[in-house]
Structure 1
Amino acid sequence: MDSKTIVKEFTRLMSMDINKLYEGLDSHLHKLLQLFRLKHFEEVQEMTSLMESRQGCKCIFVSNHRKRAAALQGLPWYMKENPSTLMKRCEVSRKITDPGEDVIKGMVIGILLVVEDVKEPFPVSYNDVAIIIEEKIVMRHLGDVPNAFVNLMGLLYMLNLAYPKDMKYTFEVIQRLFMGIGSEMCTPRVHSLKNKLLS
């Protein structure tokens, strides 16, 4: 499975380009990051670290691509969901090719980020970015978080897989607000975010 196949199949199924996700995300990017800063995440160490790294080194957030990554990684926390089952990180020294490897054990649908140091909240680069489905690596070498999300959304549509129940609001935001699919049918929680983004 490769990205070109996913883009082509998604276009066939949905009559739209999956890369519209970038366009939709970019249209809300500034406001979304602003909302993250306004909300208090004292009890969520991952989000606190992400926001602190953003404030401490603005140079890494100069590019739009880095802002996209921050928005997508922070979105689950903002939607009051725990992304630990969706996004996992491991150090490059770990072996991740075996399905039984504890890093991906239990991952039904997710993204694995291979980094030099798992303690770094927002690494400048990744050694590998992979998509996991049912404890198996189905795609690798995706480069970054935004590209992984685009390909993951495409795979979910291609394989007709349901969104993980514990991440339903995060995926609803991506589908309805960023991709514009069924945007008129938001749940109250997502509708509330939509109103904030448009205010």
Structure 2
Amino acid sequence: MHDTIHTRQACILQSLCTYLNEDCKKLIKEYLNTDSEANSCMEQTVMVVYVIRKEGAEPEDDPEDIDVLIKGAEAPSGLGNIAQARALVFGLTHCLNLSYPPELKFTFEAFQKILGNLDGQRLSSKAQFLKNKLMGTADGIFMFLLS
């Protein structure tokens, strides 16, 4: 198994979705390079990180392509890993003042307001609970980000 910082970041972000009881698969869609329906599925998605894998590739193998789609348009990115793609989605959401996807609103809120420290005074109760837990230890947030 590859143990890189990118793998750890991707796992942390997926854990954040899971902790907040949201489906990470709503943010990241994986397709095989032989999937003929992938393009039509991607065009119907409002906001997604898509990963194209070669048929027969192992989970630890590098994907063929990773990109971001917002409202059916591909964001020019040249991304090398899933963690960077997720960060781009969160950043674009903030910069373009886009609404959070309803099915991932707590994940987006936590990333933007707690980890990004943007408008962190107004939090939902779920995000406030997470923030309190992270701040409960001296290195809580660093352990969360780097573990």
TM over 0.5, shorter chain: yes
Superposed CA deviations along residues 76-119 of structure 1, whole A, max 9, x for unmatched, are 12211112322100012335884xx23x1431011101123599
**Aligned ranges 1:114-129 → 2 under 5 Å:** 114-116=52-54, 123-129=60-66
Report what 2:12 is aligned to: 71
Task: Provide the rounded CA distance (Å) in 2 between the counterparts of 1:172 and 1:126.
Answer: 28
Aligned pair partner of 2:76 in 139, 156, 163 = 139
- Asked if structure 1 preserves the Cα contact closer than 8 Å seen for 2:32 and 2:52, the reply is yes
Task: Provide the rounded CA distance (Å) in 1 between the counterparts of 2:20 and 2:57.
Answer: 23
TM-score (norm 1): 0.59
- 1:152 has 2:93 as partner: no
**CA distance 1:132–1:196, change in 2 (3 Å):** same
Report what 2:29 is aligned to: 88
Q: In structure 1, the residue corresponding to 2:21 is in which secondary structure?
A: coil
Q: In structure 1, the residue corresponding to 2:60 is in which secondary structure?
A: coil
Report what 2:111 is aligned to: 174
- Asked if structure 2 preserves the Cα contact closer than 8 Å seen for 1:113 and 1:128, the reply is yes
Q: How many residues align?
A: 136
**CA distance 1:190–1:117, change in 2 (3 Å):** farther
- Asked if structure 2 preserves the Cα contact closer than 8 Å seen for 1:128 and 1:140, the reply is no
Cα offset, 1:181, TM superposition:
0.6
- 1:184 has 2:118 as partner: no
Q: CA RMSD in A?
A: 2.5
Aligned residue type for 2:114: L
Task: Provide the rounded CA distance (Å) in 2 between the counterparts of 1:85 and 1:164.
Answer: 9
Task: Provide the rounded CA distance (Å) in 1 between the counterparts of 2:74 and 2:50.
Answer: 9
Task: Provide the rounded CA distance (Å) in 2 between the counterparts of 1:91 and 1:65.
Answer: 21
